[in-house]
Amino acid sequence: MTNLPDGIQRREFDGRQRLATRGQPVYGEPTDGEWRCWDAGRSKLGAMLEAGMEIDLVGGEGVLYLGAASGTTVSHVADFAGPTYAVEFAPRPMGDLLDVAEARNNLFPLLKDARKPDTYSHIVESDLDVLVQDVATRGQARVAVDNARFLTDDGQLLLAIKARSEDVTADPETVFDSVCDELTEAYEIIDRQRLASHDDHLGVVARKR
């Protein structure tokens, strides 16, 4: 079961109960006063929370987010979390991410390659509570394993695996099993679920060993 902090609430938008965080709108999402709808159709982490995966959040966590893109999901994370380091290697979305960070003084965008954690280890703390990863690149398990160094003992990994990024021809379930296998080098898998609103993706919750 998902444990949610006060900073993530279920509120009604368009006649439906949906997740929401409190902060400045980012991607045209519906709002209700200070609350902004967290669109699970546009966010794999949102979909993992909606699916009731075994995620344990209390609010104020230190977070490393890999694959931040333009900031759709990481903006929601920064709304309820503490220091949130957002790694993205593509310069174009980084411009948007910098705008998102303007309104959030706990969000720190880093134009870095998540496969090279040495290049940001002097900036990012090494006792973070949560690693969120959505990089859609080959070698997703290796990225998660190599970045486990930033997590505190028993810190959580919240990972979206895209099967096609590993192998376009292979059966997705085979790819997911192989990625999860490789993750066990650094993590214990707590929960895994296919994400209904995101074709070809597996959500994984794991704890650092």
Binding region for ligand SAM (CB under 6 A): 43-44, 67, 69, 72-73, 87-90, 93, 113-115, 134-137
CA dist., res. 35 & res. 76, Å (int): 10
Rounded distance between C-alpha atoms, residue 89 and residue 64, angstroms:
14
Residue 66 or 206: the one with the smaller Cβ distance to ligand SAM is 66
Tell me whether residue 99 or residue 154 sits nearer to ligand SAM (CB atom): 99
* d(C-alpha 209, C-alpha 204), whole Å: 15
The structure tokens listed for 134 are: 């959505």
Q: Does 135 carry a binding-site annotation?
A: yes
Q: C-beta of 153: minimal distance to ligand SAM in Å?
A: 25
Nearer to ligand SAM, 119 or 154 (CB): 119
C-alpha–C-alpha distance, residues 182 and 187, integer Å: 9
**Any binding-site annotation on 113?**
yes
* 3-state secondary structure at position 77: helix
Smallest distance, ligand SAM to C-beta of residue 84, A: 12
Q: Is 88 labelled a binding residue?
A: yes
The answer to the question of whether 191 is labelled as a binding residue is: no
Cβ nearer to ligand SAM, comparing 112 with 153:
112
Closer Cβ to ligand SAM, 43 or 84, answer by number = 43
Is 13 labeled as ligand-binding?
no
Tell me whether residue 68 is annotated as binding.
Answer: no
Q: Which helix or strand (DSSP H or E) is residue 153 part of?
A: strand 151-162
* Token couple for 175: 């790819």
Backbone angles phi, psi at 158, to 5 degrees: -115, 105
Q: Determine the Cα–Cα distance for residues 94 and 2; give it in Å rounded to an integer.
A: 30
Q: Which amino acids are annotated as binding site for S-adenosyl-L-methionine, given as ranges?
A: 72-73, 88-89, 113-114, 134-137
Q: Which amino acids are annotated as binding site, given as ranges?
A: 72-73, 88-89, 113-114, 134-137
